[in-house]
Structure 1
Amino acid sequence: MKMSPMTRFLLGFGAWMALASCDPPKATPSPTPSPSASAPKVVAYDALDRATFNRVAVQMDLPIFWIEDKNANKAIEPEEVASLLFYPTQGNWVDGDRFTARFEEIYKQMQAWAKSPTFPKDLTDAEKKRRMLVIEELDQGQPTLVFSNFTKSPPQDKVFVRHMLAAAKLIDDLHGQQRGLAPLAAQIPKDDPSGHAAFRRNWGPKCSAPKTEKNPACSAIAKSPEKVLVAMYPEDVQKEEGFCDKLAKHADGENLMSPFVVVKKDGDKLVPEPIT
């Protein structure tokens, strides 16, 4: 039987369709979901209660203070922290509404210190005892915050406050020089933060709290001198017995005993020089 061209076309088209249908249809790949930004991990700094945190901060000579647990969740939070002045270092604890990496590092160290103060391994028993006594000295004090907020003050008030803070530091430095503290401060081991804290608080190496003030082993430095030589008078004069009485009886005693002069030697003469 002869097939017309149209019949042959239809049969060929049908066969092609049948062959084509033998291959399974390729699945259309579903679009890859775009990665969503994961929420930042929230860390609760609740390993130390507030009293322990502030006590350890003093022992480690850290310029930080936990003001209060505002939401009573027993965890320190950025808005509850104050950075303290008049420390040898400055605190960098908060960035915006988060703690800094520096705070995270220090917090871990504070946890370890709270369990057992961190001392170098090669310390003698006597040195360990001295450092523990200094910590006991510090623990007899109660950390207290004097807080001022000048963020909403007029610009001229802020300038005034900056000048007053600078003046306060100069007065502290001058007082330290008058008491002859610089040579003694240099004797505090760098790895003894409690010694530095006690020395600064007590204006010298000797302990002054009720439980430790009479213990000669309690000192911010290994060998606390019986008498601290101040920078206001020549050293040889201070070593004389009753030198203050001698100065008072001096012909120029009133000027030599003035708190606003430094007494120097010019040959055998004592000369008062005004502090300017």
Structure 2
Amino acid sequence: MSRVALVTGGQQGIGLGISRLLVDAGFQVALASRSGQDSPAVAAALSELDGAACYFQHDLSDVDHVPALLDEVTQALGPITAFVSNAGVGAPVRGDMLELSPENWDFVQNINLRGAFFLAQAVAKHMLAEAGEDYRSITFITSVSAAMVSTERAEYCVSKAGAAMMSQLFAARLAPHGIGVFELRPGIIATEMTAGVRDKYTSRIEGGLVPAQRWGDPKDVAEVVVAAATGQMRFATGASIPVDGGLSISRL
């Protein structure tokens, strides 16, 4: 049976880096995002991945659409053997957490937590129903913000901390069935989303903010995802893995 990976937000940034290496590892990749198929990012990703990927439109906040998404993916590619919960949103407005609005809080939690949970739940049920000899995995891409405080992005930090617990819950529930579950916490990664702060952070990174003294690359995250998805880490299920060049190491 062919290996099929569903990657949310797989058309750009960290998600595209993950999709590239999964294709290289022999996976057929389903890219899911709320962007339309006509979006430049989706078109460019499909062109680059050259027949090894298909696109499926899905808004994470629309949990009612989850069954239709999984039906579309499995009909096109077959049973899902790896799920990468990567898509998410940042704080709509950075600022004093004492001024955080309920609307912005709900927007972030509906996507990063509620949407991510119920899609993972449906994928887990799908994997259990399709149980076979092939290894299966779920990987949650969270952030160093799951544990590192940014008071101007409170809603984002809380959503990532919640996603970290979500990973632990799924790991414990699915371990008896041979489904590995992992959480990856990227640090400062060079993507389109961070391009606007590149000058601001480069000198700080080189000055020691990141012990590795460089920006992270989507490939850095993707390499760990591939190891998880191909079963190289199967007995480490439940692991939370920083992919941040040492950013989150506690230092004096």
**TM class by smaller structure:** under 0.3
Higher alpha-carbon Rg: 1
TM-score by length of 1: 0.23
- Structure with greater strand share of residues: 2
TM-score by length of 2: 0.24
